[in-house]
Amino acid sequence: MRERIRIDDDGVRRLLESSGTVQVASNGPHGWPHLVPMWFVLDEGLITFTTYATSQKVKNLQRDPRIAVLVESGDVYGQLRGVMIEGEAELIIGDPRQTALAMATSAARRAGQPPPTFNDLPDPLPGAAHKRCVVRIHPLRYRSWDHSKLTG
């Protein structure tokens, strides 16, 4: 059954490209999952988002870089589609230009505009770029499902 509903690589990429929010799970300090929604972009095929460098998820990922993320869609069982990715988080802390670019790329995506380049960044950089960091997810394993494949 699992193989029957699996989404191929192109389908996974399309699902990620069509979604703006990913559920991010890191390992909390007391053993409980820490789960939060985050806006994201695909940067060189990697799920990438920004967050405050002092956030709980960053503290968790500094201690244990293992991360799981979920993107899903559908309102009824026969429409459910999703991908869960297990991977390792790369933290880019203390690079406000990289952070500003990731922030601008996310804003452009939500506005339906093309992604900016470093040359498009304002001078001075936004203050938030000095307080935030970039998280890039290097996938190790995917699980995907498309329940519409069960009908028909």
Q: Write the pLDDT tens digit of every residue in 28-53.
A: 999 999 999 999 999 999 999 999 99
Contact 96, 121 (CB under 8 A): no
Q: Are strands 46-52 and 21-27 parallel, antiparallel or unpaired?
A: unpaired
Contact 58, 66 (CB under 8 A): no
**Alpha helix (H) ranges present in the chain?**
2-5, 9-18, 56-63, 96-110
Residue 96 has pLDDT above 80, yes or no: yes
Residue 58 DSSP SS3: helix
Share of the chain above pLDDT 90, in %: 95
Q: How confident is the model at residue 152 (pLDDT cuts 50, 70, 90)?
A: low
> d(Cα 106, Cα 124) in Å, to the nearest integer?
19
Q: DSSP assignment, residue 149?
A: G
Place of tokens 């505009």: 113
Residue extents of the structural domains in the chain: 2-150
pLDDT of residue 2: 83
Contacts of 13 (CB under 8 A, 6+ apart): 42, 45
- CATH code, residues 2-150: 2.30.110.10
> d(Cα 51, Cα 40) in Å, to the nearest integer?
10
> d(Cα 70, Cα 83) in Å, to the nearest integer?
6
Structure tokens at 51: 């967050």
